[in-house]
Amino acid sequence: MAGPLALRRGVRAADRRWLVLLPPMLLALLLARPAGALVEGLYCGTRDCYEVLGVSRTAGKAEIARAYRQLARRYHPDRYRPEPGDEGPGWMPQSPEEAFLLVATAYETLKDEETRKDYDYMLDHPEEYYSHYYHYYSRRLAPKVDVRVVILVSVCAISVFQVGTDGCVHLPVAQGCPYN
């Protein structure tokens, strides 16, 4: 009789372990989003940057710049006037501000050769989404100034401040302690 009771205790302990692990696993499954759902934050979102600018994938820098200037002039919020019967292209968002930002984002993506190469690779290999996510944000959030320059300027500024204050602070000498 001791054998089945010991077996039951072992099963209960194992069940408890699963009960402890079950909520985090369910939460991870519920919160996990497919890679396609996260594409909104990258490049032009779910829209194709080439279609936004109205150019082909083989377009050169001059053609991309020309298309950008034309669309930016047309959808600039200060100058936009809807034409009668003109619904705009299929990618056009609800407001001209959104359209202008989308055109600017498409141009920023396609004007730089390295970013354009990464974008083309993402279009050709969507299954490698997470590596695209890393490359996009590592390039976008990269420091614009070399760290050594920042350190050098900081040390020089502190040195000038110290020389300007003569390197010491003069405090009045206390006459006596009032708490004696």
| 3 found inside a domain | no
Q: Per-residue pLDDT tens for 113-123?
A: 988 998 888 88
Which tens digit of pLDDT belongs to each residue from 3-21?
A: 554 545 555 555 566 566 6
What integer pLDDT is reported at residue 64 of this predicted model? 95
Lowest-pLDDT choice from 28-32, 55-59, 175-179? 28-32
Token pair for residue 13? Answer: 């302990």
Examine residue 125 and state whether it is found in any structural domain, yes or no.
yes
The secondary structure of 45-90, three-state, reads CCCCHHHHHCCCCCCCHHHHHHHHHHHHHHHCCCCCCCCCCCCCCC
What percent of the chain is predicted at pLDDT more than 90?
19
pLDDT value at 34 more than 50: no
What CATH number is attached to the domain comprising 79? 1.10.287.110
Asked if the structure places residue 13 within a domain, the reply is no
The pLDDT value given to residue 37: 45
Asked whether residue 35 is assigned to any structural domain, the reply reads no
Report if residue 50 sits inside a domain. yes
Residue 54 lies in a domain: yes
156 domain residue, yes or no: no
| SS3 category, 36 | helix
pLDDT tens digits, 74-100: 888 888 777 665 555 555 666 788 888
Q: What would the mean pLDDT of 55-60 be, rounded to a whole number? A: 92
Among the listed residues 29, 28, 33, 57, the one whose alpha carbon sits nearest the alpha carbon of residue 123: 57
Residue at 90 is within a domain = yes
**Domain total for the chain?**
1
pTM summary value: 0.54
Residue 52: domain span? 40-140
